Structure 1
């Protein structure tokens, strides 16, 4: 299936990033149809200079310096330009953005006639009439391009408007410094390789002075000076060398002929001191001139596309190729069989509610009547869930994570809007969705389980990540689920973190990750493998290995973006396939998890005590990636995962690898062969990991977070004749670690589900066809307990 090609509206500011991102749009087969720009509204009291520039309004959202030169891009790029003034101010200053209820909420409403923005709205809403104006002239436009690199503040606002207007947000530069080769300077080097010229026209950092004004930011000599100054004045992390903290702003004046039909020639210039010590380059007499001989032929051959796989995942791919899986056979332990018809299941019989010190776990939610369609059952479940939340005085945004079990993935399109109707906040819950087929009880089409933050925080500003733009980073989540949301863990000392004072370790719930190529949002296929240099030839398992590695990389990239330091345990869901294929695939998935931790452990890096801090601008504008001690302008700034500096292993012989299980269900989203998920730990000072024995025949792994009132225990039950150990573990609290006071449990099991399970087991149930441990040995059940 060929990726969809879009007709793109380019939101430009004149800066290097918004113009450079257009080249990546072209490289991915999209067509630029129009340019769009917002500029400061004229003020009667403001003084306009000779160049017509007027004052820089210093918007958090939009670059406005140099706005008088924006009309030149219409001629330079030979594309129609549409402009609107910026009205309003930054009324919503939160990192993540949600529009007020009065603005259009659907594409149908948003694509109507252009309506003017008003001065009493947030400045973000000025984008709406601007894009409506473009859509009236270009009704076939389907996407919006932006140059967002690290600012969640800017990205979420553009995504909000784009999606309301039915436009696909494209942000090909998102997280660019943390993609191969993992250096801030790589973006500037890539610009230089294409002959792009972007002049520095404003400096606002103590490390930069007016001597930088007028320099081409992509010139290697300028880059070297920037790196030197940033290191001298507080380090080069957090995107400083790219100006992501507002250190400087640029004006693109030239680029490759595939986009640039002419170039902007600057006339007279003058440095002017502004507020807060900033210095702005005023430009007079700028004009567009024809490209010189040869410049009009500039193409995309020199444009570097970031590698699909990170270095460690390329290494993992090579290791998995050495694994012999073609002729593997194994005895079957148990195959799920259809359950017999029975009486309708009552809500009171299936719903399980467990309360921990910080969270409410509502598990196994089913409709009160079985003889209904999936959509009707979903509506019933969501209505009752809303009632339960209201009874606890909790908003829907307090839901952190959800697990959605379907009988058939064909019902997904009908139930997804019903599910999503409850979530209107900027960061909906993370979600895992699988189809279990007839492993679900008779008549049950949908089962939902959720984790709710009892403090009502919902992870807002504390690790929530909802990226809806297409990029090279990880799959966009355009829908009612986030890549990750987090929950603060309870401290040992009661009340230590009450009323928002202080912070503590977090559990991070990551959504299920399937092997979508981020730029195209299609399942990785032979052409993607060829472009990535991952030749599979006649290897029947080759494509599955590629899906395994790419989906696992998505888990890691999301985890790193929200500062996960350790996974409590990995879960790999496999789609239905033949018995032999399933056994072979389980070996590949388990080996991938184990080998990746070995590769990363061998190259582990610890953080120093002298970690760099984000400045005020970064915090206010939501720079996503937290810099670590090893980050520099030209070095790998990705946080270590796992972070060996804080993880303590009880035994020298024990492998520092969290537990992992492989679970076979019927279907996965988008026809994927594998889906990875996990719960991570972040903001921890120390994590203790050990193998424990809670009961004979019950190998278990315990993760304890220092300073908190809880720990996680994974247990594996080998054979069906020992399935009683699940109930034994649940019903006998003496088997929990000494001194613990309660438990919330999730059970993955291949035992056929029936009313006995749902009526008598105080646990969230994940029914499956087969299960394996990390070594590829088949097991009957796996139990994850959160004890406190």
Structure 2
């Protein structure tokens, strides 16, 4: 990509440019924001480093790249973490600056910044990039600061300290000192006081005088003054004011100073208002389309009122068949209507499962999706998401099928990093890496993407799995937890293109990764996760594997895994002719965590069907028996652990399309099983007047082992006690 680099003069923005080049991008322009008054060294800015701005004009000459500069008109008016467009805010100065760069150099598609740890700065750069249709590149994001400092010095960053403001740093002693000279001292301050060695806590700022990007010349600082801002006895604050400097041409020993190349420097003016931006208005044609296809709409909703799921799909028919765009618009409009009916909106949605019939139309699905789910509609953060191709048409469904997990409060905490970095794959679109709500962390589906290049690992399914798990671990660490110790459930989607030989190894490799992670972290309190493998036709980017993790991240509370808890004597479970038997556990995984969460994965194979009922009976009767057995075991699991069906947030029944059974038929079979359960008064009654509490999900296969995915049904239940 062609990149405009935000430069402050500091080491971070320069090293970020070097990383851009390392990953194959091209720096075609520089952008800098500076004070209105040249004599002012530092502004009271939450966003910009301005100390040493007098020298930045020379970067154009040193790199032979145009430099666009704008004087900061605004101030820090919008100080909440997530930024919204605010008149006269200093962030709008960046918008005007980058708008002009894009106007003059239309080929630019990305913006580089040196953000390492500041969410405040990263989110504002991402906001501007989103408004301008640019990609944010932040290759230093979340990197280990000690290693980063060592890399900068080893890779030729020649920088000096131009501001100090921390215990152990003295303006009279340390301003003007070379970064390499200061490295051991900065590392010592980290050990003594916990300082950030890269200055991310405001401990110090730097000015780069030379680096490998400066191919034409280096900057030589001839004279400077030390200006003491605060004579504090513990942490005095001081800045370096450059008095005179010159450029020294490279490749000619003893060369004289160069004339400043004014032709490469552009001053950007403007009032900061963006009159071209507008909020998306929903097309009235979508509403008409919903009315036209309402007879094809089907809904499923769980009974739970605090955290519940809504699922919507279309019955497919040759007479009324439409395309993906129309089907997805219809489904999302209906879900939006259901949310409004409960006085909710998209901001209340925690997670979205987006199922489509053809992954070749993924771009079209995204284009339609962003008409409904936007950052403007979700001020508390956009929901996390997984996108999977399912055999929808083969199951008699439409081209799109959507499930949303909804909360009736606004307490969710969202991680949404849109910048491309070395940390984890970016989420450039309106979906987040993870959403935390009531101690449950719902992680977006993770592919085996190399974060800085956003390319899939091309060594096969095992390599993709390892990278997907590495990405998941990086996201989990942002919530102070680990997938190796905090995971409750892993859902692993396997593409039909995965070789059987690799599929057989996936689970073993998965467990090995988790074991290594546990030993490296040396954690004592470890949950025992469950696994669900789902075979699907295709995945985004033609990936072979996608991992969706659900974690328990209760803070400052001892977590008890109550999987051994059993109250089987509390009730009579002899209904439908079933009695509790030890072999039932062979098809059922269950976890109860801290008395709050109950998760169960139940697989019914053809072999188990024979064990249950023999070969007798018509296919319809066998399916009815299988559905009853599923309901029996799930009800028993909930009741034994003091949960009810009203605690259920989601129940997915994955069924293989090879059965040749329609969704309508299966829905009737399972609905009848639940009604019979009610009539027998076992467990807690389910209100049969409401929609079914289960979602039927057509797949190619599913099970708790990657090597065996030929089950008839695989039920995935999640219950959360309020």
TM-score range, shorter chain: 0.7 to 0.9
Q: 1:354 aligns with which of 289, 295, 302?
A: 302
Q: CA deviation at 1:367?
A: 7.1
More relative contact order in 1 or in 2 (CA 8 Å, sep 6+)?
Answer: 1
Q: Which residue of 2 aligns with 1:229?
A: 189
Q: Which residue of 1 aligns with 2:643?
A: 740
User: 2:460 touches 2:544 (CA, 8 Å); kept in 1?
Assistant: no
Distance 2:184 2:605 in 1: 59
Q: CA deviation at 1:57?
A: 1.6
SS across alignment from 2:444: strand
Distance 1:680 1:40 in 2: 46
User: 1:399 touches 1:429 (CA, 8 Å); kept in 2?
Assistant: yes
Q: Which residue of 1 aligns with 2:440?
A: 507
Distance 2:592 2:245 in 1: 63
Q: Which residue of 2 aligns with 1:274?
A: 229
Q: 2:344 aligns with which of 373, 379, 394?
A: 394
Q: CA deviation at 1:172?
A: 1.3
Q: Which residue of 1 aligns with 2:525?
A: 646
For the pair 1:544 / 2:461, whether they are aligned, the reply is: yes
* Mapping of residues 139-538 of structure 1, within 5 Å: 139-177=106-144, 184-210=145-171, 211-217=173-179, 219=180, 221-233=181-193, 235-236=194-195, 240-256=196-212, 258-274=213-229, 277-291=236-250, 350-356=298-304, 358-366=306-314, 371-425=321-375, 427-438=381-392, 441-457=395-411, 459=412, 462=413, 464-488=414-438, 506-525=439-458
User: 1:688 touches 1:703 (CA, 8 Å); kept in 2?
Assistant: no
Q: Which residue of 2 aligns with 1:785?
A: 717
SS across alignment from 1:274: strand
Q: Which residue of 2 aligns with 1:319?
A: none
User: 2:316 touches 2:393 (CA, 8 Å); kept in 1?
Assistant: no
Distance 2:241 2:665 in 1: 76
Deviations 1:726-759 (A, max 9, x none): 5544467344133223323233332555213345
SS across alignment from 2:440: strand
Q: Which residue of 2 aligns with 1:612?
A: none
User: 1:574 touches 1:665 (CA, 8 Å); kept in 2?
Assistant: yes
Q: CA deviation at 1:681?
A: 1.9
Q: TM-score of the superposition, structure 1-length normalised?
A: 0.72
Q: Which residue of 1 aligns with 2:695?
A: 764
Deviations 1:631-680 (A, max 9, x none): xxxxxxxxxxxxx3333xxxxxxxx6412122111111111111111112
Deviations 1:363-392 (A, max 9, x none): 244479862222111111121222222222
Unaligned runs of 5+ in 2: 256-291, 569-579, 613-622, 672-691
Aligned-residue RMSD, C-alpha: 2.8
Unaligned runs of 5+ in 1: 1-5, 43-51, 101-119, 178-183, 297-343, 489-505, 526-541, 606-643, 648-655
Choose 21-30 or 84-93, whichever is displaced more: 84-93
User: 2:149 touches 2:197 (CA, 8 Å); kept in 1?
Assistant: no
Q: Which residue of 2 aligns with 1:36?
A: 31
Distance 1:743 1:726 in 2: 18
Go from structure 1 to structure 2 and tell me whether the alpha carbon gap of 1:394 and 1:53 turns closer, same or farther (over 3 Å shift): farther
SS across alignment from 2:373: coil
Deviations 1:454-479 (A, max 9, x none): 1034x3xx2x1222222222222121
Q: Which residue of 1 aligns with 2:274?
A: none
SS across alignment from 1:418: helix
Distance 1:364 1:521 in 2: 31
Distance 2:667 2:41 in 1: 66
Q: CA deviation at 1:194?
A: 2.0
User: 1:53 touches 1:66 (CA, 8 Å); kept in 2?
Assistant: no
Q: CA deviation at 1:346?
A: 6.5
Deviations 1:394-424 (A, max 9, x none): 2312211110111111232223222222222
Q: Which residue of 1 aligns with 2:104?
A: 137
User: 1:573 touches 1:665 (CA, 8 Å); kept in 2?
Assistant: yes
For the pair 1:15 / 2:3, whether they are aligned, the reply is: no
Q: Which residue of 1 aligns with 2:511?
A: 594
Q: Which residue of 2 aligns with 1:306?
A: none
Distance 2:718 2:628 in 1: 16
Q: CA deviation at 1:37?
A: 0.6
Distance 1:559 1:774 in 2: 24
Distance 2:550 2:476 in 1: 9
SS across alignment from 1:266: strand
Q: 2:553 aligns with which of 678, 682, 696?
A: 682
For the pair 1:66 / 2:52, whether they are aligned, the reply is: yes
Distance 2:157 2:708 in 1: 55
SS across alignment from 2:302: strand
Q: CA deviation at 1:270?
A: 2.5
Distance 1:246 1:512 in 2: 35
